[in-house]
Amino acid sequence: MKFIVIGCGNIAQRCSIPALMNSGVTEVVCVVDTDEHKREIVEGRFGLPFETDLHHVLETYEFESVYISTPNAIHVQMVEEVAPYQKNILCEKPLAGSMADAERIAELGIQYNIPIFEGFMYQFHAQHKIKNQLIADGAIGEPQLFQGWFGFPPIADTDFRYKKALGGGCVLDSCAYLVHSARHFYGCEPENVYAVLCKEEGREVETHATILLDFGQGRVANLVSGFNNKYKSQQVIWGSKGLLSLERAYALPPDFQSTLTIETQEGIKQQTMPACNHFEEEMRYFVANYATMADEWREEFLNQTKVLMRVKEYIVKEKI
């Protein structure tokens, strides 16, 4: 499947473009970005055509699909430009920065009969299949508490994640992974949503968040994230018979092998998870399913956005 990539930021350079080039089922025909300084990277490192005019690319290049890798707030604009050309769309999370944007994107997908997928690459890592199978087999009994952490050291002051107008803030960024993973772990939507959102002095957006999701029947998720922390990317599931923890749950280099630990009354067991390029696996999933999953993908990103918007309703407090 032939792709163009819109946006050439850090993730696109390090992960998405290489994955599209190496998945075996996708290729990149062009990269589009308004920043001329990235031309040397795209043409020199990847040997790909670099363009600054999206309309020109849509009119002249031959391709089937688009990978959107722009700042969050621009996603809806990109979908509006691409949808009339009836291209398949794979967009980095979060697909939408507001409920209005999510609904607009959904309308465009229906109007032009195109699949639109919100990309959460972590879910395609082989370790999560192993984790879920262990829990399904009763390794920790009945799951009662899902805990997730995803936070990292300070990012550059110029990063779009600090810019309100570009859809910044940790809720739409790192928290989106946590909410997504909790929803999919329990297989339903939360009945109640609670949050404490904080920002550092002088920032426009929230930089730290603690979220509690109540899924009913005693099933709870406790999620913590921030932009100025020691790096942590972990899941812990507490069940009626034990505790399962996954050392590195959300962002893993292709050669990284995480550790899964199960604690029960009988003792502690550990196993090494397989290495996996979850970006390449995401591309393979998209190609295998784009023709039949448009309705499911649309319902999924609408539900994901609804929960994130319920979190964002909470007042942001300035940290002391």
Bridge-partner residues for 270, per DSSP?
A: 261
> For position 78, what pLDDT does the model report?
98
Residue 24: give the domain boundaries.
2-119
- Which 3-state string (H, E, C) describes 29-55? EEEECCCHHHHHHHHHHCCCCEECCHH
Please report whether residue 27 resides in a domain: yes
Please report whether residue 320 resides in a domain: no
Please check the confidence at residue 320 and state whether its pLDDT lies above 70.
Answer: no
Q: What is the CATH number of the domain that holds 131?
A: 3.30.360.10
What is the pLDDT averaged over residues 197-216?
95
Please report whether residue 156 resides in a domain: yes
Please report whether residue 292 resides in a domain: no
Q: What is the CATH number of the domain that holds 36?
A: 3.40.50.720
What is the pLDDT averaged over residues 32-46?
94
Please report whether residue 216 resides in a domain: yes
Please report whether residue 298 resides in a domain: no
159 and 230, same domain (yes or no): yes
To the nearest whole percent, how much of the chain has pLDDT over 70?
A: 100
pLDDT, tens digit, 9 for 90 and up, residues 53-94: 999 999 999 999 999 999 999 999 999 999 999 999 999 999
Q: Give the count of domains, the chain.
A: 2
304 closest CA partner among 95, 89, 69, 122: 95
Please report whether residue 201 resides in a domain: yes
137 and 264, same domain (yes or no): yes
- What is the C-alpha separation between 121 and 209, in angstroms, rounded? 22
